[in-house]
Structure 1
């Protein structure tokens, strides 16, 4: 294994990157993960929330950081309460 390349330490759960392993360097917040696109209609990236949860994967003895898909907000939820 190439020591200059960071190893995977996180797994995406839900959304377009479900099951994909990636490397992250942040402990909290929401980050953008590139989507492995199969067609031009698919998004280029998806937002995932970093959690404290750890998930075991058969490829590695060490658990991965769980990244949960942060679904895009529903436009109806962001509408003005006055209905304008």
Structure 2
């Protein structure tokens, strides 16, 4: 893992997931998802790039919140959409 992403220094120390039931945007529109990602700026839970709607990436772009973490059980990694790197 790399700590070269400057976006990690702007993250709050703690966020609360917006939902634990799945991708909040997919739940709203009745769609499916593959894997979940949590925004480390605000807690938005969205679906991964392998999902049909790619809500985590869309949120990162519209909200200017570039860093997510895996919201999958047993996974512990973070990704920056801007720098396209693990952090």
Tell me the TM-score normalised to structure 2 length: 0.27
Q: Pick the structure with greater CA Rg.
A: 1
Tell me the TM-score normalised to structure 1 length: 0.27
In proportion to residue count, which structure has more helix?
A: 2
In proportion to residue count, which structure has more strand?
A: 1
